[in-house]
Amino acid sequence: MNDRIDKQNSLVGRIIDGSVTIDSVTKFEDLLRVFPNDPGLHRVYADLLKKEKSLTAAAEAYGSAAKLFIASGMTLQAIVSKILEWQIFKPSQQEGQAFYTALHEGRHKDRAVQRFFAGMTYPEMIAFINKLMPRNFPAGVMVKKFGDEENTLYFVVSGALEQTDYHRLETGGRIQKKSTKDLVENDFLGEIYPFEEENVSQSDIKTITRVELAKISKSNLMNVCRKNPDLKLLVGNLYNRRSGFVEKEFNRTVRKTARHRLPTQVNLKIFQDEAGKVPLEVSGFTEDMSLGGARVVLGAKYETGYADSLTGKNVKIKIGLPTASNKLSVLGTIVWSKEVYLEGKTTAVVGIQFKEMTDTDRRLLEDYHYGSEGEQNLIWSLWGSLMEK
């Protein structure tokens, strides 16, 4: 992956998250030729075609997006793409069955939402998605307020939201802020289960970025469950799994929203175990970086097939921060590595734990990272709403 691809890669991310808009079908087609396997890009392209009233092409693009989402293990996103395709052209029984089979043969079913969909039979899935409605929200919008009636289940298809939980003080009933957490794709919200309980919201939920949600009302879900009793068990499992994984999920979402940070160019010198052997030199860019380490996508010089052997190797990493005139030089160790298929090329992603850096470099890195998730997210959402052309 060369520098040009690296830059375009970050551009693709920004097209998908909505911070960059391309409104020319031709330009989009050029981009898809460079990145033919990015499901998010196909999905945005399909939305553009739909907006342009090219319905046949839009349906086809939604279909391609769904297929690629399945291949990436993104079940919810695949279902939403399929719903949008089927809103244009009603599917035959055979097409519906084929999608269901593809979904079940797909990978990555380790998340509560993915398991929820994967656990459905074909009639259950059709009954459920018939009532599931995709909805888009701009950044900075309140989706649900403290005290609102809980009557809708929402799934986060893309984007990020902030959930602020409150509790009432025993004296005087004043509301006090309890905690704040981020919700990202594949999370869900809405306290509608058990169905017998009438709940009111204990949180404010506000969009941080542009967000797509898929929603189903409590009454519709109850009707679907009445006709498909086993589905109620899956809904129960969905809620049970969430409560069991709150802490784990929270940590994950915090890291995930950090991806709003811009990729940073890096050069790696990977030292070989054998004495005297020349270190391997590769360039790349960070997907996520903190004071403790970085996740780096390797660039053009990476040759396939040896990702596993990288784990445990010592590295010298040169980081080009926009805030610093000279590159930072940090010593570290690769603690995990994985081969990935990215934008039509096979490359590797490595997790590097930082071991040694000078005080000056540490200060520069600290400067670069100062700013909470909230600050970073507000900058990006304002960028989306004030600067987007």
Stretch that binds other proteins, among 120-128, 129-137, 166-174, 375-383 (CB under 8 A): 375-383
Is residue 372 at the binding interface for other proteins, with CB under 8 A as the rule? yes
Q: Which residues contact 335 (CB under 8 A, 6 or more apart)?
A: 293, 311, 312, 351, 352, 353
Q: How far apart are CA 362 and CA 324, in angstroms?
A: 12
Total residues binding other proteins (CB under 8 A)? 28
Nearer to other proteins, 20 or 48 (CB): 20
**How is 90-130 classified by DSSP, letter by letter?**
PPPHHHHHHHHHHHHH-S---SHHHHHHHT--HHHHHHHHH
Cβ proximity to other proteins: between 142 and 379 the closer is: 379
Q: 385 has which bridge partners?
A: none
What is the smallest separation between the CB atom of 322 and other proteins, expressed in angstroms? Answer: 5
Q: With binding defined as CB under 8 A, does residue 200 bind other proteins?
A: no
What's the min distance (Å) between Cβ of 349 and other proteins? Answer: 23
Q: Considering only residues 33, 174, 248, 389, which one is a binding residue for other proteins as defined by CB under 8 A?
A: 389
Nearer to other proteins, 111 or 260 (CB): 260
Asked whether 126 and 187 are in contact (CB, 8 A), the reply is no
Single out the segment in contact with other proteins by CB under 8 A; choices: 98-106, 108-116, 298-306, 368-376. 368-376
C-alpha 113: how far from its chain's center? 13
Query: What is the closest distance, in whole angstroms, from the C-beta atom of residue 375 to other proteins in the complex?
Result: 5
**Span from 26-34, 79-87, 281-289, 370-378 in contact with other proteins (CB under 8 A):** 370-378
- SS3 track for 18-76: CCCCCCCHHHHHHHHHHCCCCHHHHHHHHHHHHHCCCHHHHHHHHHHHHHHHHHCCCHH
Which one among 92, 94, 243, 325 touches other proteins, defined by CB under 8 A?
325
In the range 248-267, which residues lie near other proteins by CB under 8 A?
A: 254, 262
Between CA 348 and CA 358, with CA 353 as vertex, the angle to 5 degrees is: 125
Q: Distance (Å, rounded) from C-alpha 72 to C-alpha 189? A: 23
Buried b (16+ CB within 10 A) or exposed e, 232-244: bebbeebbeeeee
Sole window of 149-157, 203-211, 333-341, 365-373 interacting with other proteins (rule: CB under 8 A): 365-373
Q: By CB under 8 A, tell whether 88 contacts other proteins.
A: no
Q: How many CB atoms lie within 10 A of CB 368?
A: 18
Distances 269 to 169, 284, 341 between C-alpha atoms, Å: 56, 11, 23
Closest separation between CB of residue 282 and other proteins, Å? 24
Nearer to other proteins, 218 or 261 (CB): 261
Alpha-carbon separation of residue 136 from 121, 177, 209, 288 (angstroms): 28, 27, 11, 27
CB closer to other proteins out of 124 and 373: 373
Closer CB to other proteins, residue 225 or residue 364? 364
Cα 217 from Cα 153, distance rounded (Å): 6
For other proteins, the binding residues in 285-324 under the rule CB under 8 A are: 322-324
Nearer to other proteins, 282 or 319 (CB): 319
Give the interface with other proteins as residue ranges (CB under 8 A): 179, 254, 262, 322-325, 363-364, 367-376, 378-380, 382-383, 386-389
